[in-house]
Chains A and B, each alone.
Chain A
Amino acid sequence: MKNAGIFTGGIVGGSILGGILSNPFLKEESESSQPAVESAEDFQEARIFFDRFEDFVILRAAVERIYPEDDNGPGAVALGVPYFIDKQLAGSWGTNAKEYMQNPFKVNGDSEDVMRYETPLNRGQIIIEGLRKIDAVSEEQFGENFVNIDGEQQDEILQSFDNGEVELTGVSSQQFFSILRKMTIEGAFADPLYGGNKNMDGWRMVEYPGPRPGFIDIIEEEEFIKMDPLGLKDYQQS
């Protein structure tokens, strides 16, 4: 594996568009680390979607099982995934602002096409519905809240949701789980501007360099080139 030092993901050959792109991108790798903003980011770790702390606690436990901490690196909680999901659900994604939500719906179970989105519930409502059901199932099966049972028991419950075995109102448990899983992964690997992928540690795990002007200088390289990641913040601010 080659050392990253000499490759910056910069532009080669110059831009015909001239002035459009000033060239802030070729700065030294070392300038990219960002401890200076750590404290500012902490202020964003407050809830704007989840009214009940109990719901958020279930979310935290569930996403950590979906993407757990291990020898490779941090899990979903350390990566900030719960706050990422909170922010996403508070916005247009959670309210289905750009989706077609007109009646009539063939609600859950009426349709064979399990994965078609056929519910009047938006994603925020689906997540709340599913998380509370997770806790209800946990109480029923293990006599304890979801956060108090052990990891294997938590996995067992999540698997039953993934299998579509749990009855929810207005949506299948499989669909709920699929949205939860999708958002967990997104929270671990989206640009840190969204509150997840804290300190770009998600990217570090998969050796992703982050947005760069280009990779023309390495596209033909036989060997894998590892670079310390840069975020959109580095890319956009010149």
Chain B
Amino acid sequence: MAIKLDKVDVVVVGTGWSGGIVSAELAKAGYKVVGLERGKEKSVNDYLGSKDELRFTQRYDMMQDLSKETITSRSEMDEEAQPVRTQGEMMVGNDVGGGSAHWAGCTFRNNPFDFEVYSKTVEKYGEDKIPEGMTLQDWGITYDEFEKYYDRFEKTAGTSGEDDPLAPPRSNPYPNPPLKSSPAINLFKEAAENLGYHPYMIPAGNMSEAYENPDGEKLSQCQFCSFCSHYGCDFGAKSDPVVTVIPTAQKTGNYELRPHSYARRVVHNGEKATGVIYVDMKTGLEYEQPADVVVLGGFTFTNTRLLLLSEIGKPYNPETREGVIGRNFVGQFNNTFLGVRGFFNDKKFNMYGGAGALGATLRDFTVEHIDIEGKNFLHGGHPEIRQYGLGPIQSLAVPSDTPSWGAEFKNNSVKYANSMLHVWFVPGVMPWWHNYTSLDPTYKDAFGDPLLRITNKLTDQDINIAKYGIEVTKKIMEEMGADIIDEDEVPEKFDHIYSGGHYAGGVAMGADPETSAVNNYLQMWDMENLFVTGGSAFPHFSDYHPTGTIGALAYRAAEGVEEYLKKGGLLAEKKTKTHKMA
């Protein structure tokens, strides 16, 4: 029997950008907020002296302990799913800050096209271009309506960026100038310009200058130490909830952060959520935290699984293609970051230095600028070069005709240790009726609750756009002058590796309750005092990294919660069957 605690205004599950932003905004507005985090507390002091490639990149120190909970995965609906057992196959953040602490820092906006992806695709190419079974749908909000939330997030996160001629309109410039470039990145930019493209520096959560955000949180200037992605920044130079929105929330005196608190259920009476049941992982005791509003601001998997376990919303049924919880699962998997590796015989780059989002890209192939008429895929993508800064274990790249061990391997790995550049292509990922999440019938977590089960397979769309992307990157690498160019292999089958951290959907947003779980305020259609925000709300994956949009969604959700606390009721109008479902 759970111990019932005193009611608060809002209980928030999660302390990454999603949970952290909502908590900070509501605490600032004077509401009493409790934040539940399954992992431990974190401060910059935890990151000091953590520049250890083995511990963080190879042993996943900041990632979820899978012995307690993981996911299961399969490709076909008639298969038994197998657990994703090791951290090498499954990268999900843990502890205060969540995935927003170990992120690299890329802070992109979606294309305006993405928010109206169904309508725009039909408008541009006709309805017949959308294949049967692709559950493409609009987000229920337009870029113009959403722009101010991007702007707000970029200011909180101190995004370092530069304008480019093909970018959608912005209400304000980036709060920080772009990061310094490097010879490797310059080589990419020059090659792209020679080919007539429009390269620009990737918008980065790594500070190009010392910065104070609108909440008064201070960030240091990035020193390009290279310990960024998979690490917490020991210099306070990467925007991370641990150095921004969490302290912002705490300073108000209205926010209570409870680490080691593993949420198990949203409690509800069928009409409204009444609180969250969680286990204190230090004592094993179970608590119920009542609240007027419940916010799920956890990772995609957590948000979806909590709704399914709590029996809230209609679970998606692929047989009938009805229901919404678990629908439109999409991810940027291994087939998403494919491109070419260029080996240079006479050039060496200082690749040991870098920053998570240090790099360049271009919009010439993104959904708004590419013409897919006559092509065998939908949407678009962006090629990018990154200089994360390579640790010595990760840097051992050899040309594909070199064996993977032994004398020749050693010799070539030493030869090319500082002479390999990778350019890859990030395509949009389209949703399909057969890719979804549900509860696993066999495997359980540490408390005996079913694991989340993912059913996902690659389609011709995924394979064709990956092949196209490799051609794009190859052309750039040739222009860059690499001596050996290896093309990445395009897998024909899904490998069940969830290593990139970019999984979305399952609690999609939209205007139509038949195909979306939340409205454009991230408010559940079926339970008006429950808000679910994060990557889980994406109805499809844009051809950009997700964090900028996740941060912006959280500001939108915070506005929605505040509005709801003042007025109550559904905040957006239902628009049923605005378009024919594929």
Contacts and interface: CB of A to CB of B under 8 A. Distances in A.
B393 interface: yes
Contacts of B48: 20-21, 236
A219 B67 contact: no
A99 B405 CA distance: 27
A57 interface: no
Interface in B51-88: 51-54, 58-60, 65-67, 69-70, 82-88
Contact of A72 (B49, B82, B389, B414): B414
Interface in A63-103: 65-68, 70, 72-73, 75, 93, 96-102
B375 to A, nearest CB: 31
Nearest to A184: B405
Contact of B235 (A17, A184, A190): A17
B183 interface: yes
Contact of B411 (A12, A17, A72, A189): A72
A140 B20 CA distance: 61
Nearest to A236: B49
Given A111-B82, A207-B417, A218 B44 contact: no
Contacts of A142: none
A181 B66 CA distance: 24
Interface centre among A215, A225, A232 (most CB of B within 10 A): A215
A104 B49 CA distance: 40
Contacts of B82: 106, 111, 113, 116, 118
B442 to A, nearest CB: 7
Given A20-B48, A116-B496, A214 B235 contact: yes
A202 B410 CA distance: 11
A28 interface: no
A135 interface: no
Given A68-B410, A189-B396, A232-B49, A219 B44 contact: no
Interface string A177-216: 0000100111001110110000000110111110111111
A106 B82 CA distance: 8
A206 B392 contact: yes
Given A116-B89, A116-B496, A15 B236 contact: yes
A49 interface: no
Contact of B223 (A11, A186, A205, A225): A11
A16 B225 contact: no
B350 to A, nearest CB: 6
B350 A191 contact: no
Contact of B83 (A72, A100, A113): A100
B225 A214 contact: yes
Contacts of B413: 206
B523 interface: no
B67 A97 contact: yes
B414 A235 contact: no
A232 B51 contact: yes
Chain A, interface size category, equals 35 or more
B348 A186 contact: no
B84 A72 contact: no
Interface string B381-394: 00000000101110
A222 interface: yes
A201 B169 CA distance: 52
A178 B22 CA distance: 43
A111 to B, nearest CB: 7
Given A68-B407, A99-B86, A116-B82, A215 B236 contact: no
A125 to B, nearest CB: 14
Contacts of A102: 83, 443-444
B528 to A, nearest CB: 36
B461 interface: no
B223 A213 contact: yes
B194 interface: no
A28 to B, nearest CB: 19
Contacts of B59: 93
B180 interface: yes
Interface in B172-201: 180-183
B223 A185 contact: no
Nearest to A224: B348
Nearest to B219: A16
B284 interface: no
Interface centre among A99, A111, A113, A235 (most CB of B within 10 A): A99
A219 B83 contact: no
A99 B67 contact: yes
Interface string A152-184: 000100100010000000000000000001001
A15 B235 contact: yes
Contacts of B83: 100, 102
Contacts of B395: 206, 208
B218 A16 contact: yes
B227 interface: yes
B210 interface: yes
Contacts of A31: none
B300 interface: no
Contacts of B417: 205-208
Given A99-B87, A207-B418, A224 B396 contact: no
Interface centre among A1, A67, A100, A224 (most CB of B within 10 A): A100
Interface string A11-28: 111111100110000000
Contacts of B53: 189-191
Nearest to B389: A215
B220 interface: yes
Contact of B350 (A158, A205, A215): A215
A202 B53 CA distance: 14
Contacts of B399: none
B347 to A, nearest CB: 8
Interface string A44-69: 00000000000000000000011110
Contacts of A14: 210
Interface centre among B219, B354, B417 (most CB of A within 10 A): B417
A98 B87 contact: yes
Contacts of B353: 9, 214-215, 218-219
Interface string A214-238: 1110111110110000001001100
Contacts of B52: 191, 193, 211, 232
Interface centre among A98, A106, A232 (most CB of B within 10 A): A98
A221 B495 contact: no
B66 A186 contact: no
Nearest to A119: B85
Contact of A208 (B69, B70, B84, B392): B392
17 contacts: A16-B221, A65-B405, A70-B407, A100-B85, A100-B86, A102-B443, A106-B82, A116-B82, A117-B88, A208-B352, A214-B222, A215-B224, A215-B389, A220-B181, A225-B350, A232-B49, A232-B51
Interface of B: 44-45, 48-49, 51-54, 58-60, 65-67, 69-70, 82-89, 180-183, 210, 218-227, 234-236, 348-350, 352-354, 358, 389, 391-393, 395-396, 404-407, 409-411, 413-414, 417-418, 442-444, 495-496
Given A102-B83, A162-B404, A225-B350, 17 more contacts: A9-B353, A11-B223, A16-B218, A17-B236, A20-B48, A21-B48, A113-B495, A116-B84, A117-B89, A206-B414, A214-B224, A214-B235, A215-B352, A215-B354, A219-B350, A219-B358, A222-B183
List of 7 A-B pairs having minimum Cβ-Cβ separation, nearest first: A214-B223, A215-B353, A211-B51, A224-B348, A206-B417, A190-B54, A236-B49
